[in-house]
Amino acid sequence: MTIFGIAILLVLLLGAGAFLILGLRGRRFGDSPHCRRCRFDLAGLVINAPDSRCPECGAALAGGRSVVLGRRRIMRRPVAIGAAGLLLAAGIGATWFAAAATGFDWNRIKTQSMLESQVMIAHNSIGVTGELVRRMRSGSLNPDRHARLAEWGAERAWRLTHTTRGWWGDIIVGAWERELIGPETLRLYAENSHRIRIESSATLSKNEHIHFSIDSLSVWSSAEARLGVLFTIRSAQIDGIRLRRTAPPGAGPADATAAANAPIAHLLLTQHHSRQGGFGDPSTSRLGVTLIPDELPPLGDHLIDLEIQWELHYNDSEDLDPVRRVQGMLSGGGPILTWSERRSIPVRIVAPGMTEPPRAVDDDDIEAALLQSIFVDNLRIYQRASTEYLVLTISGDDLPVAICGEVVIVAGGERWELNRPLVVSVERGEGSAGGVVYGFDPDVVDIVITPNPAHIHLLDGEREYWGREIVIRDVEVQR
């Protein structure tokens, strides 16, 4: 029972009790004198004499408070109302206790309108949202109401908690499959379920390559995981000067030409399989890209203009293997919706030699301040089909120097290397690393961070990084 229900039950009990007391106390009728002690009728007797006494109980009648006028009679209607209210409150209380003892779900007997109004007040209510999904899967959810719920959930996708995120994904995808909503609602759902940050070094030497980092945080999930977004940076330029991808080392002329004409970057973000009970876990990913300009840009402040394309894909396959699901999503009938946007990133081009090379900081006092400020926000295992993915998030309050390096998880003599590096800038004060781990079962581990200046370009123009190994011991793994 909710707090609101308990409050109503208490009000009912108090009201019924008041009616019962009022009815039993009764009301006075008539004006004949009666003995206050025994209620004997004193009509016709002398009661004003100093020695007058009640012939029934012998109480002295002298004094105004010894005699009362009229006789009280029980009021049957208030007594009946009070008794009925008490019986009703007792019945409600007994029913509630019995339901709590047997685990009865009250949401099963609520009307759809009640469930809709409740879920729009508390959209993270596990019981109400789960009941709406159950009725949707059974085909008993009203189509108009289903469409309203899907649109409402798509608008609030980012604010949904992990406890109901998967169920809301089921409601939205189910409405699309029943043709109750259009692709624009799915676009709204996709945009509100992702935060994609594109960053580059704030200051570059004129002869430097330009490094981009693309960080994404996705919070969409559902039981079938049938939606996917292909995020593509199609082109980039500085004041009309095209930026192109670099070919890998040892590539031939054909590969170099293909790299130069290819899109800047692709990032495929698929829905995640919600865990039992509608739980939907967030996911993060990072992609690094190196670009070179067709010609050297002039010195000064510029904007890197990015042309970005989103493609929304749908796959109704029942195959839960993530690789085959992605292949089926991209090789299907094409995207169900495509839209574009433009973003700009500020950058300053300086003369060669003006930017300092990365410098490793190695100082005992700074080390003490660094170890005092950093802490592990999260170390969690995510299950994706048959693959386990470990995500580490590090934060720092008033970080004295940036951290960039490789992360190794150590436990029981075994080591697991995370392929995504850890980068924590002084300005942001947080960063994450992650990677696929195999045979990972410890509950408490040590975290070893080894500095690597190769990732300094991800630090938003910061040129100093911590140069010693960092060890954080006895960190609990969340699952």
Give pLDDT tens digits for 403-455. Answer: 999 999 999 889 999 988 898 988 888 888 888 888 888 999 999 999 988 78
Domains 193-350 and 359-476 share a fold: yes
Distant-in-sequence, close-in-space partners of 240: CB < 8 Å, separation ≥ 6? none
Listed residue (329, 473, 479) closest to 409, CA to CA: 473
Residue 401 in contact with residue 464, Cβ under 8 Å? yes
Per-domain residue ranges of the chain = 3-106, 107-189, 193-350, 359-476
Tokens of 26: 């009764």
Residue 389: pLDDT over 90: no
∠ CA 384-385-387 to the nearest 5 degrees? 60
The confidence score (pLDDT) of residue 198 equals 87
Distant-in-sequence, close-in-space partners of 429: CB < 8 Å, separation ≥ 6? 395, 396, 397, 399
Listed residue (446, 450, 451) closest to 472, CA to CA: 446
Residue 67: pLDDT over 90: no
> Side chain identity at 333, as an amino acid letter?
G
pLDDT band (50, 70, 90) for residue 231: very high
d(C-alpha 371, C-alpha 468), whole Å? 11
d(C-alpha 233, C-alpha 236), whole Å? 8
Residue 53: pLDDT over 90: no
| Mean pLDDT along residues 375-403 | 85
Give pLDDT tens digits for 13-37. Answer: 889 889 888 888 777 777 788 887 8
Lowest mean pLDDT, pick from 99-108, 119-128, 334-343, 445-454: 99-108
CATH 2.60.40 fits 359-476, yes or no: yes
Residue 249: pLDDT over 60: no
> Side chain identity at 273, as an amino acid letter?
H
Listed residue (467, 439, 443, 442) closest to 453, CA to CA: 467
| Mean pLDDT along residues 307-333 | 75
Homologous superfamily assigned to 193-350: Immunoglobulins (2.60.40.10)
Other Cβ atoms closer than 10 A to 222? 24
| Mean pLDDT along residues 302-319 | 87
